[in-house]
Amino acid sequence: MIVDLSQDDMLSDEDVFILDIDTDNLPNVSDKGGLSEPDTIVSDGLSDRNASDIESEKQKDVALSSGDMLDDDEIPVDSVHDKTEIDNNKFSYEREKRDKRIDGKCYCNNEITKPQEPFQPGATPENNNRKYLAMNHIGCITTTFHETYSTITVEFHDQSYNRGYNLRDEFNYSMACLDKNGALYAVESSEMSDSQANPSVLFYKPQETWASKSEWTVTLPQGEDIIAIALCSQGIIVATSTGVIRIFSLCGVQTYILALTSVVCMAGYDELVLIAYHASVGYKGSQSLGYILYNVRTHEILQKDILPITKGSTLKWMGFSTNGLPAIFDSKGVLTILHHHRQTNQGRWVPILNVLSNRKEEEINWTYWPAWFTETTLFCFICKSEAYPQIPRPAFDEISLKVPLLNLDRQTGQCEEILVRYSLLVSFEFEEAMAKNELEKTRQSIKMKNKGIDKALLEMIHLACKEEKQQRALDLSKLLIKLKSLESAIKIARFNNCPILADKICQFKEAKIVELRQLPQSKTGNSSTTVLE
């Protein structure tokens, strides 16, 4: 709401708005925490209001309710179209104190965003007594509710690796997680007819094990509900309504507990768990979510910061790629990855796909339900008439990842997109391999991506030479990884009649050879011998 105020009509600290508040039912509280005098209201450092002022406002309320004529300078509150909600326990003059006055105008800043409720990645709402509990690259878990029990169905995408099974569910589990080691289930507490409550329950069922009785169940105390769960190869993570996170081993041993309130979602991979929570009160469409990347094995917080979902959206999915890259997907259709997540406090979120950027007119009302993603593709359900996938499960839709850069309709923009995306993937694979001591296993994959980077750079160098942008061509040449690629850049410069550019690239090549012979390992994960090939 914006109200024009002249200098003569500026509201003073003693002025109040007339609100339809029953002052007789409001408790009189002093600044010391006790009740004040019957005819005095004290609030937050404001001066006491005497009985005559209160009586005067009551008379105005009576006049308004009886329909009496108003003077020209009197404006009824109902005529001011301000739909901003005001707490019932706050007085109008407190609201006036909170308003910001800039250039003679009064701006009300009470635009609080409704906080998002906790959810499980891949889970859907109930429809016809059926719903998805979990969905990822391993498989999916569905449940069918009956009168006194439920039936859980676990399906795996690779039937040769694991066979699906059905499970009779007496607890009516409402949450689930699935990975290659097993399945995790949980349910909140529920009221019973005899005024008692069924407690919140956690249940873990391993896929294959050599030991008998490997399944286990944990019951939480009364008053503590499970609101989110996550499963990784190093443990089980449970967030509860009391503001604590309980960590169990895969065999049910309690290994750690930490305090974290307002958890929204969790996802696990290997020894890591990604946790999203409400960092503060949302404002003007922003959820104000924070995140923590936590190592379950070492109990180390790798990253902790604000979760940058698109303004006006909610968090729709959170998880890891098939090879362990943390990511989020919001309701505006933006897939964002956490770059450098293995480097403590150096992680930064990078958007790698916007599914709504190039949609057609008939696709405006389509919704996208993510299931998982790889380094090249997002696997999801494109729902044309529903908000979420139905049962039985439809076929997955595949969307190629494309960093939302500018000028993607041009060849230069397309080459730049390949350069950025491949550079992100190369640095991720190298850091992941170093963390797991598996550099030799990923060397070939990194080598292939480096070839893709150099190919895109050479195309951009050729375009720059054709447009006579020799400085741009030289800068692009300095980004080339392989020495063979530098030789190709020299040939491109000479082909386009740029002899000075060719000489400068040749000088850079010679300097790089000297540098690489002195360094055993480059920062990008390419050994000097690999680059010299």
* Cβ–Cβ < 8 Å for 225, 202: no
pTM of the model: 0.76
Domain boundaries, the chain: 2-107, 130-400, 411-532
**Is 221 within 8 Å of 257 (Cβ atoms)?**
no
How far is the C-alpha of 98 from the C-alpha of 45, rounded, in Å? Answer: 13
Question: Which pLDDT value is given to residue 304?
Answer: 97
Q: How far is CA 60 from CA 77, 91, 183, in A?
A: 11, 17, 65
* SS3 track for 443-464: HHHHHHHHHHHHHHHHHHHHHH
Amino acid letter for position 86: I
Tokens of 58: 């009551």
The pLDDT score that the predictor gives to residue 110 is: 63
Q: Which two tokens stand for residue 518?
A: 């002195």
Top CATH class of 130-400 equals mainly beta
Q: Token pair for residue 91?
A: 């007085």
Per-residue 3-state assignment (H helix, E strand, C coil) for 171-237: CCCCEEEECCCEEEEEECCEECCCCCEECCEEEEEECCCCCCCCCEEEECCCCCCEEEEEEECCEEE
List Cβ neighbours of 18 (8 Å cut-off, separation of 6 or more): 57, 60, 61, 64, 76, 77, 92
Q: Are 134 and 176 in contact (CB under 8 A)?
A: yes
Closest to 179 measured CA to CA, from 198, 202, 154, 203: 154
DSSP code for 25: G
Q: Give, in order, the Cα–Cα distances in Å from 511 to each of 283, 488, 517.
A: 53, 17, 10
Q: Residue 343: helix, strand or coil by DSSP?
A: coil
- Kind and range of the H or E run holding 475: helix 470-477
Residue 421 contacts residue 401 (beta carbons within 8 Å)? yes
> By C-alpha distance, which of 467, 363, 365 is closest to 410?
467
Q: Is the peptide bond before 392 cis (omega within 30 degrees of 0)?
A: yes
Predicted local distance difference test score (pLDDT) of residue 492: 96
Return the number of other C-beta atoms located less than 10 Å from residue 15's C-beta.
11
Sequence-separated (6 or more) residues with CB below 8 Å from residue 511 = none
* DSSP per-residue letters across 257-310: EEE--SEEEEEEETTEEEEEEE-S--BTTB--EEEEEEETTTTEEEEEEE--PP
Which letter does DSSP use for residue 77 in this model? G
For residue 316 the two structure tokens come to: 């729709």
Cβ atoms of residues 421 and 515 within 8 Å: no
How many Cα atoms occupy the beta-carbon half-sphere of 448 within 13 Å? Answer: 4
Could you tell me the two tokens for 289? Answer: 């979510």
* Number of neighbours of residue 382 by Cβ within 10 angstroms: 15
Separation between Cα atoms, residue 393 and residue 396, nearest integer Å = 9
Residues constituting the chain:
533
pLDDT by residue for the chain (533 residues), tens digit each? Answer: 444 444 444 444 444 433 444 444 444 444 444 444 444 444 444 444 455 555 565 555 555 455 444 444 444 444 444 444 444 444 444 444 444 444 444 444 568 889 999 999 999 999 999 999 999 999 999 999 998 899 999 999 988 878 889 999 999 999 999 999 899 999 999 876 555 678 999 999 998 777 777 899 999 999 999 999 999 999 999 999 999 999 999 999 999 999 999 999 999 999 999 999 999 988 888 899 999 999 999 999 999 999 999 988 999 999 999 999 999 999 999 999 999 999 999 999 999 999 988 788 778 889 999 999 999 999 999 998 888 999 989 999 999 999 999 999 999 999 999 999 999 999 999 999 999 898 898 999 999 999 999 999 999 999 999 999 999 999 999 999 999 999 999 999 999 999 999 999 999 999 999 988 887 654 445 544 444 45
How far apart (Å, rounded) are the C-alpha atoms in residues 55 and 39?
A: 10
In DSSP terms, which residues pair with 289 in a beta bridge? 278
What kind and span of H or E run contains 62? helix 51-66
Contact 340, 348 (CB under 8 A): yes
301 Cβ contact partners less than 8 Å away, ≥ 6 residues apart:
292, 293, 294, 295
Q: Is 369 helix (H, G, I), strand (E, B) or coil?
A: strand
Q: What is the number of other CB atoms lying within 10 angstroms of the CB of residue 379?
A: 18
Structure token pair of residue 186? 């949980």
Q: Other CB atoms closer than 10 Å to residue 503's CB: what's the count?
A: 13
| φ, ψ for residue 450, nearest 5 deg | -65, -35
Q: Is 20 helix (H, G, I), strand (E, B) or coil?
A: coil
Dist CA 93 CA 15 (whole Å): 7
Radius of gyration of the chain (CA): 31
